Structure 1
Amino acid sequence: MKITFLIHNVYGIGGTIRTTLNLAAALADRHELTVVSMLRHRARPRFAIDPRVTVVPLVDLRDHSADAADPLLHQPAEVFPTAEKRYAQYSRLTDLRAEDYLRTCDADVVIGTRPGVNVYLARFASPRALRVAQEHLTHDTHSKKLRAQLAHHYRDLDAVVTTTRADAAVYQAKMRLPGVSVLAVPNSVPDPGPSPADGRAHVIAAAGRLVRAKRFDLLIEAFTDVAAQHPDWSLRIYGAGTDKERLQRLIDDQGLGGRAALMGVVSPIEAEFAKASIVASASDAESFGMTLVEAMRCGTPVVATDCPLGPAEIVDDGVDGRLVPTGDRQALAAALCDLIADEPGRRRMGEAARDAARRFDPAPVAHAYEDLFAELAASRHARAWQRRKSHWRGRAGRALRGLRRRYESVTWA
């Protein structure tokens, strides 16, 4: 089977890129895999890519590239949805390259990995291929305008796959998609390989994009309370982003210099998590929680805010990690202090975390996708009938409402 992934920019760093490459490598054991990158901004991808996976960039943004001189690169996109957060990075050239590629693509399955790219998938991919949209964000994080744009196009897909059961339920309840399978398949994280954490290092680690939604400011504030009780412990935050300067000022203002540090981007991150005894996440919202699984696979227990929608489906509170209320500095600090004070408990929790995280191994996740492909192929005609029936019902309903309005206008006249 030929399987093609469509991704925003495989040459960057991010959770969607990691999980796409993990899944592609697992599927490459039995299938022909291609990753199509809408954009390219550097010579080589930052993440290692399985040599069995073919990478195809569509628009080269590098200064010396031929695409940089193409006037279409500076014309606004017409197909990529305007309400999508990445809209400014897309152009008429991206629209046309995506259309050209998908019109001629002979893949049996095409999988999109972000909302705007999924619109390309719905508009241009061959109906002979199974068209699957992954949602690495969540329904409710999309604006009302974007949800309306997506609902219009997602009706032409075969499936919408979220990363959590909770988000799948939201899509099923709020976005009517007749004939489209809506289900959850978690992201996959491979076994990192190095020896698991032993729970002895006096280090709390955290990782992610340095943006406000990740609430590293809350984590730093909570660590201020932790440091007052446990002055021999330190906090290491890995990542890059627009919030870096503000977070550094907060570290300085709290007098945590030398105790808390912004470590920059490290990839892969697992080796750093294995050096820590606790990994913390203070996010206001998560579509999944890749760093939680990555930490657990290293045998490092996590303390995470119980934010929508991912952590509660990853962490078994009190068994392989701790969940605390979102935005609660005191609760976050207390949970960290509890684990710091209980070294044997940290070790037990770390062992439980490593065992529990095996369910996110790429092999079973890849099998879940293969089962989905088989189900979609078998139900293709039945789902097409559902789609047509819904379409005609909608037309009949609109016609009936029109007749009622005309009748009422005549009656009142």
Structure 2
Amino acid sequence: MVERRSMEKRHIYITALHLYHGGAEMAICNLANGFAERGYPVTIWCVYKLCEPVYRLHPSVDVEYLTGDKPNRQEFLTALRKCHLLTAFREGMRSVGILYRKNRVIMNKIRAVKAGVILSTRLEHNRILARYAQSGVLKIGQSHYGEHFDKRLAKWIGREYIYLDYFVLLTESLRVEAEKIMRKDCHCKCISIGNYLEDEVQKKLQAVKDVEREKIVLSVGRLSPEKGFERLICAWKKVSPNFPQWKLVIIGDGAERAKLEALAGEIRVTFTGNIAHDRVLELMKQGSVYAMTSYTEGFPYVLLEACNAELPVVAYDVPTGPGELVRDGETGFLVPDHAEDIYCARLEKLLRNPDLCQKMGKKGKKYVERFTKQNTLDQWEKLFY
């Protein structure tokens, strides 16, 4: 465990786009809480105020909202799709203004800090931090997503991140990849630190009464293209006729919802929209299987929660994310990406065998116990001194 310093704790500033639903947003709140509990002054700089923070924040964590803007990407895309060219032009110009302002306010905040730690959580914020932070500031860039660095992105990161002190990736495979693209004379060190579940979440899962598992396949996430819910619905269309007592429950909301509901048609799929986090945990304790069909992931909190709720997982083995949290054949199944027939077969195997579900679920909970709050915060604290 990291030795506690008697010196005054450094102020930690964390950048965020918003504090609405999302794995990255939960990670930001968890880190802020963990740092605050260890005595650090913590401020979150939040670009958009879409709502009050969805996830719990420690009373001492300060949140500063930097603009009155809200993103308008969906309005712009809708206007384009409907060929409303004048509206699309207006929304495009508004989007340019929003982009300029959101980068400007982050830059101004970073420039004004003379000492402490700044933890930026988005690729563009990392670039601004590397360029504009003062010399007395510890500069830590972070990626919450499972980016694999194509040639253009690799060149951009290698050029823009050289003056960061640390670039923190969620998985070891991403760390190795990032290290390869950094220049040899680069000041920045690449580190891998995963996520953890708040103690409160684990207590809530433990507090939910153990009931007989219902015949529910559960999936949680933002209804956007990268989450691949259309793949899940297509697989469920093939599987569900053989299992008339089972239903698929999809928790979350987003721009793809209407499209996904239309794709589901009359098959047994329930879309809950965004619901309270406590209710998500209850459903995880009631369900029998967790299904993930994302095209890309970072270090998915939802899988940490599912494994802690003793749900076996079926997931596509995309480059990062599921492979960090699922042991194929032991705690669930990792399926080669795009192999829909294999995905359906693995899902059917679990639906036919409740004893296997229970066995894998218990192993899954044990497997993710290593992602503890103490270990994760100790790794972060080593960077501060």
TM range (shorter): 0.7 to 0.9
Q: 8 Å contact 2:213–2:286 — kept in the other structure?
A: no
- 2:225 aligned with 1:180: no
Correspondence for 2:83: none
Correspondence for 1:399: none
Q: 8 Å contact 2:12–2:116 — kept in the other structure?
A: yes
The alpha-carbon deviation at position 156 of structure 1 amounts to 0.7
- 2:108 aligned with 1:100: yes
Correspondence for 1:36: 45
Correspondence for 1:341: 352
Correspondence for 1:272: 283
Q: In 1, distance between residues paired with 2:232 and 2:310?
A: 21
Change (3 A) 1:95 1:304: closer
Q: In 2, distance between residues paired with 1:279 and 1:89?
A: 41
Q: 8 Å contact 1:22–1:362 — kept in the other structure?
A: no
Correspondence for 2:167: 160
Correspondence for 2:323: 312
Helix, strand or coil at the partner of 1:19: helix
Helix, strand or coil at the partner of 2:67: strand
RMSD: 2.2
The alpha-carbon deviation at position 53 of structure 1 amounts to 1.1
Deviations 1:132-153 (A, max 9, x none): 111112442x665554433322
Helix, strand or coil at the partner of 1:130: strand
Correspondence for 1:27: 35
What letter matches 2:122 in structure 1?
R
Helix, strand or coil at the partner of 1:39: coil
Q: 8 Å contact 1:204–1:234 — kept in the other structure?
A: yes
Max Rg structure: 1
Q: 8 Å contact 2:157–2:182 — kept in the other structure?
A: no
What letter matches 1:292 in structure 2?
L
Q: In 1, distance between residues paired with 2:294 and 2:205?
A: 27
The alpha-carbon deviation at position 18 of structure 1 amounts to 0.4
Q: In 2, distance between residues paired with 1:357 and 1:53?
A: 28
The alpha-carbon deviation at position 120 of structure 1 amounts to 2.0
- 2:118 aligned with 1:115: no
Deviations 1:249-307 (A, max 9, x none): 1111xx30xx1122111231322222211110011221222221121122212111111
Deviations 1:87-125 (A, max 9, x none): 857444334432332222255211000011112211222
What letter matches 2:373 in structure 1?
P
Q: Which one of 191, 200, 210 corresponds to residue 223 of structure 2?
A: 210
Task: Quote the sequence identity (%).
Answer: 27
Q: 8 Å contact 2:117–2:138 — kept in the other structure?
A: yes
Correspondence for 1:260: 269
Deviations 1:52-93 (A, max 9, x none): 21111111227xxxxxxxxxxxxxxxxxxxxxxxx8574443
Q: In 2, distance between residues paired with 1:300 and 1:53?
A: 33
Structure 2, unaligned runs of 5 or more: 1-8, 71-94
Change (3 A) 1:184 1:88: farther
Q: In 2, distance between residues paired with 1:95 and 1:60?
A: 14
What letter matches 1:3 in structure 2?
I
Correspondence for 1:55: 63
Aligned length: 344
Helix, strand or coil at the partner of 1:206: strand
- 2:176 aligned with 1:169: yes
Q: 8 Å contact 1:133–1:159 — kept in the other structure?
A: yes
Correspondence for 1:136: 144
Helix, strand or coil at the partner of 1:218: helix
Q: In 1, distance between residues paired with 2:283 and 2:48?
A: 30
Correspondence for 2:84: none
Q: In 1, distance between residues paired with 2:312 and 2:112?
A: 47
What letter matches 2:161 in structure 1?
Y
Change (3 A) 1:183 1:238: same
Q: In 2, distance between residues paired with 1:274 and 1:126?
A: 48
Change (3 A) 1:185 1:88: farther
Q: In 2, distance between residues paired with 1:5 and 1:107?
A: 14
Q: In 2, distance between residues paired with 1:181 and 1:199?
A: 48
Q: In 1, distance between residues paired with 2:303 and 2:100?
A: 38
Change (3 A) 1:242 1:93: closer
Deviations 1:176-203 (A, max 9, x none): 3622110211122224223466662100
- 2:252 aligned with 1:239: yes
Q: 8 Å contact 1:199–1:300 — kept in the other structure?
A: no
Q: 8 Å contact 2:32–2:57 — kept in the other structure?
A: no
Change (3 A) 1:89 1:304: farther
Q: In 1, distance between residues paired with 2:175 and 2:346?
A: 30
Q: 8 Å contact 1:239–1:264 — kept in the other structure?
A: yes
Q: 8 Å contact 1:109–1:130 — kept in the other structure?
A: yes
Structure 1, unaligned runs of 5 or more: 63-86, 375-413
Q: Which one of 310, 324, 331 corresponds to residue 335 of structure 2?
A: 324
Q: 8 Å contact 2:162–2:182 — kept in the other structure?
A: no
Helix, strand or coil at the partner of 2:105: helix
Q: 8 Å contact 1:209–1:239 — kept in the other structure?
A: yes
Correspondence for 2:306: 295
